[in-house]
């Protein structure tokens, strides 16, 4: 499933140092090209491998196991899975906060050490081990489940950042977008394949729990095996001349965050937009983490619906990113971003009234559609919203950023996204303790409306001029 970690491959999580990408002359010989292609393949395979984690564990399968079976349900309540939903949200929120706290240090490590591959390997092992250990989480072992989910998601997100730091060394600047696109596409295949197999484990019942808990080892083994080419073919990049190995990573990380905030404060429209984007990313984090949980608990979708829903979301996410990219060329980045928010508001309304919509459609058209399949079709709009919103948001940050500050500001974009995810999930988890899941999901619409309202104050032309003026001065 489209997730918060994707789409940022071109930019490290925090401000990267200036990197000298490999020159074309170095890769002219057939043997050199062969090695470089193997290295690119190995790097792309990490996306293929780790997509199994975010799709199977976070978005589609284990999220339901945890919320419905690991956490005891209160069948006397109008929302029997209330506590499970809240604890799931809080476990993920805690992991994102940990990523934010350690991100500056890890960013410094990736830029100032020759140990990128080692830290990528450690994050990979951490995610694989924590995911495998989910096998030992039995019904009622709530705290163990929360800890393992938070740890595995932390290692997954950290691994995404370490993997991203290799990209500038994989080709010339002109080829980086293409290479990133390869990984993006391969990652979707990994997600689709892993989910198709994981959804064959049977019904989400206590009687079938011995089969269901195999999802942890299955996902861990898939990730472990599929990522082997990464560590066979991906080479440790050399530090450019003049970069010291002996630095204080804590100080560098802190100084970068402070300096980035100072620099960004001079770009009014960028700052307004980032506030708007904060609420959008909070909404997307809820959708990514709870879309299938909502479908299962509120709409009662089955395995066949889940498989179709997942595929539809993946396909329409790609369609949305491409289609709204074309629209952006015609009407501008700000209007395109606003249009994606309107799409989300429409999608939220359709999901909230899906039962009424199904009854109306059947009565009007003389059909016998089930609410489950109508929900699956509506999920296509959600997929389009995911792809288009992430694409449009990246574009606006790009046009508001001077070239010399692009890595720095995209790093802040990634940082704010993680903070927004944590805040959105914490709030959603709390709201879930008060109301039904259906009503709690209205917070997604509220966040999108608030984001749209704030973004109206962004002046795209003024923001572009500010970026151009800064570039000319520098």
Contacts of 4 (CB under 8 A, 6+ apart): 281, 284, 285, 288, 417, 418, 421
pLDDT of residue 380: 92
Whole-angstrom Cα distance, residue 190 to residue 196? 10
Is pLDDT larger for residue 405 or for residue 275?
A: 275
Q: Quick one: pLDDT band at residue 6, thresholds 50, 70, 90? A: very low
Query: Would you mind telling me the total number of residues written for the chain in this entry?
Result: 474
Averaged pLDDT for residues 51-78: 91
pLDDT tens for 91-145 read 999 999 998 888 777 777 766 767 788 889 999 999 999 999 999 999 999 999 9
Q: Quick one: pLDDT band at residue 460, thresholds 50, 70, 90? A: confident
Averaged pLDDT for residues 367-391: 90
pLDDT tens for 262-281 read 777 778 888 899 899 999 99
Q: Quick one: pLDDT band at residue 360, thresholds 50, 70, 90? A: very high
Calculate the alpha carbon distances from 314 to 14, 151, 297, 381 in Å.
Answer: 28, 26, 22, 11
Burial tier of 252 (Cβ tally within 10 Å: 0-12, 13-18, 19+): buried
- Quickly name the fold that domain 1-259 has: Growth Hormone; Chain: A; (1.20.1250)
Joined together, the tokens standing for residue 443 give 């917070």
pLDDT of residue 5: 43
CB half-sphere exposure, 400, CA atoms < 13 A: 30
Averaged pLDDT for residues 178-194: 76
Helices 371-399 + 406-432 axis angle, to 10: 150
pLDDT tens for 195-236 read 888 878 888 889 999 999 999 999 999 999 999 999 999 888
Calculate the alpha carbon distances from 71 to 168, 201, 389 in Å.
Answer: 44, 19, 33
CB half-sphere exposure, 274, CA atoms < 13 A: 24
The ranges of the chain annotated as CATH 1.20.1250.20 are 1-259, 265-474
Q: Quick one: pLDDT band at residue 406, thresholds 50, 70, 90? A: low
- Lowest-confidence segment of 3-7, 246-250, 255-259 by average pLDDT: 3-7
Burial tier of 240 (Cβ tally within 10 Å: 0-12, 13-18, 19+): exposed
Is pLDDT larger for residue 342 or for residue 394?
A: 342
Judge contact between 56 and 127, C-beta under 8 A. Answer: no
CA dihedral 203, 207, 210, 212 (to 10 degrees): 20
Share of the chain above pLDDT 90, in %: 45
Contacts of 143 (CB under 8 A, 6+ apart): none
Share of the chain above pLDDT 70, in %: 86
DSSP 434: T
Identify the helix (H) or strand (E) that includes residue 184.
Answer: helix 176-198
DSSP 401: S
pLDDT of residue 173: 61
pLDDT of residue 243: 54
Is pLDDT larger for residue 304 or for residue 27?
A: 304
- Lowest-confidence segment of 6-10, 28-32, 193-197, 349-353 by average pLDDT: 6-10
Judge contact between 294 and 437, C-beta under 8 A. Answer: yes
Joined together, the tokens standing for residue 60 give 């589609």
pLDDT of residue 319: 83
pLDDT of residue 217: 96
Query: Which CATH number does 265-474 carry?
Result: 1.20.1250.20
The number of beta carbons lying within 10 Å of the beta carbon of residue 45 is: 23
Q: Say yes or no to pLDDT of 293 above 70.
A: yes
H-assigned helices in 62-141: 62-65, 82-112, 116-132
Is pLDDT larger for residue 4 or for residue 81?
A: 81
pTM of the predicted structure, to 2 decimals:
0.84
Judge contact between 60 and 306, C-beta under 8 A. Answer: yes
Please report the DSSP string for 249-276 in residue order: HHHHHHHHHHHHHHHHTT-HHHHHHHHH
Average pLDDT, the chain: 84
Whole-angstrom Cα distance, residue 400 to residue 170? 27
Nearest to 426 by CA among 63, 2, 94: 94
pLDDT of residue 240: 57
Q: Say yes or no to pLDDT of 25 above 60.
A: no
């Amino acid at each position: 499933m489209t997730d918060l970690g994707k789409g940022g491959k071109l930019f490290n999580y925090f401000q990267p140092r200036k990197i000298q990408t490999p020159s074309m002359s170095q890769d002219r010989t057939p043997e050199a090209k062969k090695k470089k292609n193997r290295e690119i393949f190995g790097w792309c395979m990490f996306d293929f491998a780790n997509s199994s984690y975010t799709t199977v564990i976070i978005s589609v399968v284990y999220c339901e196991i945890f919320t419905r079976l690991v956490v005891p349900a209160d069948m006397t309540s109008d929302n029997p899975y209330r506590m499970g939903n809240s604890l799931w949200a809080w476990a993920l929120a805690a992991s994102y906060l940990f990523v934010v706290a350690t991100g500056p240090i890890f960013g410094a490590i990736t830029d100032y050490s020759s140990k990128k591959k080692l830290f990528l390997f450690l994050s990979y092992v951490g995610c694989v081990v924590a995911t495998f250990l989910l096998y030992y989480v039995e019904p009622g072992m709530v705290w163990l489940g929360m800890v393992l989910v938070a740890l595995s998601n932390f290692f997954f997100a950290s691994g995404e950042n370490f993997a991203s730091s290799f990209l500038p060394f994989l080709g010339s600047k002109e080829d980086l977008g293409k290479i990133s696109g390869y990984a993006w596409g391969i990652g979707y295949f990994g997600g689709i394949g892993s989910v198709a197999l994981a959804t064959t484990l049977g019904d989400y019942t206590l009687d079938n729990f011995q089969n269901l808990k195999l999802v942890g080892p299955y996902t861990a083994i898939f990730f472990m095996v599929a990522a082997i080419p990464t560590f066979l073919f991906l080479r440790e990049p050399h530090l450019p001349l003049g970069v010291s190995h002996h630095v204080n990573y804590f100080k560098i990380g802190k100084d970068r965050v402070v300096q980035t905030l100072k620099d960004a404060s001079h770009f009014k429209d960028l700052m307004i937009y980032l506030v708007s984007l904060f609420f959008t990313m909070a909404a997307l984090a809820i959708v990514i983490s709870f879309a299938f949980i909502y479908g299962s608990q509120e709409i009662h979708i089955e395995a066949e619906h889940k498989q179709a829903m997942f595929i539809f979301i993946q396909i329409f996410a790609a369609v949305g990113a491409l289609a709204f990219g074309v629209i952006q060329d015609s009407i501008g980045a700000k209007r395109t971003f606003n249009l994606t928010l309107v799409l989300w508001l429409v999608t939220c309304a359709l999901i909230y009234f899906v039962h009424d919509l199904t009854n109306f459609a059947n009565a009007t058209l003389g059909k016998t559609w089930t609410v489950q399949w109508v929900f699956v079709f509506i999920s296509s709009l959600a997929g389009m919203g995911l792809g288009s919103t992430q694409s449009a948001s990246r574009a606006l940050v790009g046009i508001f950023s001077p070239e010399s500050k692009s890595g720095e500001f995209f790093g802040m974009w990634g940082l704010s996204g993680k903070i927004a995810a944590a805040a959105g999930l914490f709030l959603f988890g709390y709201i879930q303790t008060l109301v039904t899941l259906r009503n709690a999901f209205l917070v997604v619409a509220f966040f999108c409306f608030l984001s749209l309202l704030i973004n109206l104050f962004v002046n795209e032309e003024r923001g572009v001029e500010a970026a151009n003026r800064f570039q000319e001065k520098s």
